């Protein structure tokens, strides 16, 4: 074998060590060194996650992955049962439209993580999905399985919210949304009045720069929540409306 010069040997040794560490899981494309991987459904890793799905209605059941940055690098498998026909795995989430009534029990298992050569056998908490024609769909994209939505400004839903502003003033009035995790899944509207010129709605908050003097009274309503078809089908007068909002704007 041809003798290597010292710098050649060092480079060869460094490359071999680099590849070896990668094979051992020390160099990986996601997560941190010595990362603990996990997957579960619902709000409690140690309780059974139960969902009701309406037959023929699209569902999107989200899992919690640790670390979230590794979601697309993880290979999953269904164990201990089967998914309802019509649902499929998509990066650890369950998506699709159920086509057959019944009760389905299973868990999700992490089989492999790209960049980690170690064996994995991490299973989620038990999952129960009931599919029926007359069931209420409880698998939303946000919040808990059974959710109460709310929206208000200030410290209390039971009192009006009053803000004194001036023309030219920058405004950022923050609302309280319940649950906060559903804010980005919600659509909001102005009810019973109009926003002053220069202000607009941004995820349930009121922002902008005031350009118009006067007194403006209105409320905000939650018109839609992604993933909650039963809420979305309610008549407008049965949906969540905030406390009254009064903006007094001086010149």
pLDDT of residue 142 exceeding 80, the answer is: no
- pLDDT winner (highest mean) among 23-32, 59-68, 105-114: 105-114
Tell me what pLDDT residue 101 has: 93
Instruction: Report the DSSP beta bridge partners of residue 65.
Output: 39
Tell me what pLDDT residue 119 has: 64
Q: What is the mean pLDDT of the chain?
A: 82
Tell me what pLDDT residue 155 has: 86
Helix (H, G, I), strand (E, B) or coil at 88: strand
CA distance 118 to 161: 57
CA distance 247 to 251: 13
pLDDT of residue 22 exceeding 50, the answer is: no
pLDDT of residue 38 exceeding 70, the answer is: yes
- The least confident of 21-30, 170-179, 225-234 is 21-30
CA distance 214 to 194: 12
Nearest residue to 249 (alpha-carbon basis) of 194, 202, 201: 194
Instruction: Please state the separation of Cα 120 from the chain's center in Å.
Output: 26
What is the chain's Cα-based Rg? 26
Tell me what pLDDT residue 32 has: 65
pLDDT digit string (tens) for 68-124?
888 999 999 999 999 999 999 999 999 999 999 999 999 999 998 888 877 677 899
pLDDT digit string (tens) for 186-239?
999 999 999 999 999 999 999 999 999 999 999 999 999 877 777 888 888 889
pLDDT band at 179 (very low <50, low <70, confident <90, very high): confident
Tell me what pLDDT residue 10 has: 32
% of residues, the chain, pLDDT over 70? 81
Whether 80 contacts 105, CB under 8 Å? yes
Name residues whose C-beta falls within 8 Å of residue 223's C-beta, 6 or more positions apart in sequence.
Answer: 187, 188, 189, 236, 239
pLDDT of residue 134 exceeding 80, the answer is: no
Name residues whose C-beta falls within 8 Å of residue 95's C-beta, 6 or more positions apart in sequence.
Answer: 59, 60, 61, 87, 88
% of residues, the chain, pLDDT over 90? 50
- pLDDT winner (highest mean) among 68-77, 141-150, 177-186: 68-77
User: What's the CA angle centered on 226, arms 48 and 161, to 5 degrees?
Assistant: 105
CA distance 72 to 90: 9
CA distance 47 to 66: 17
């Amino acid at each position: 074998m041809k003798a290597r010069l010292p710098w050649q040997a060092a480079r060869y040794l460094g490359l071999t060590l680099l590849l070896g560490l990668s094979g051992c899981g020390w160099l990986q494309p996601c997560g941190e060194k010595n990362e603990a991987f996990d997957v579960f459904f619902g709000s409690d890793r140690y309780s059974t996650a139960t969902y009701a799905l309406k037959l023929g209605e699209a569902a999107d059941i989200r899992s919690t992955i640790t670390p979230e940055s590794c979601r697309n690098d993880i290979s999953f498998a269904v164990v201990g049962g089967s998914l309802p026909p019509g649902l499929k795995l998509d990066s650890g989430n369950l998506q699709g439209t159920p086509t057959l009534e019944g009760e389905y029990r299973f868990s999700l298992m992490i089989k492999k993580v790209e960049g980690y050569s170690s064996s994995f056998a991490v299973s989620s908490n038990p999952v129960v999905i009931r599919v029926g024609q007359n069931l209420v769909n409880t698998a939303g994209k946000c919040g808990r399985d059974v959710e109460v939505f709310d929206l208000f400004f200030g410290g209390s839903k039971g009192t009006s919210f009053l803000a004194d502003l001036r023309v030219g003033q920058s405004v950022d009035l923050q609302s309280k949304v319940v649950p906060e995790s559903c804010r980005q899944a919600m659509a909001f509207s102005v009810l019973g009045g109009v926003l002053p010129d220069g202000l607009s709605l941004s995820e349930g908050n009121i922002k902008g720069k005031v350009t118009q003097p006067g007194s403006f009274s209105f409320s905000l309503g939650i018109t839609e929540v992604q993933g909650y078809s039963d809420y979305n089908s309610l008549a407008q007068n049965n949906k969540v409306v905030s406390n009254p909002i009064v903006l007094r704007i001086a010149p």
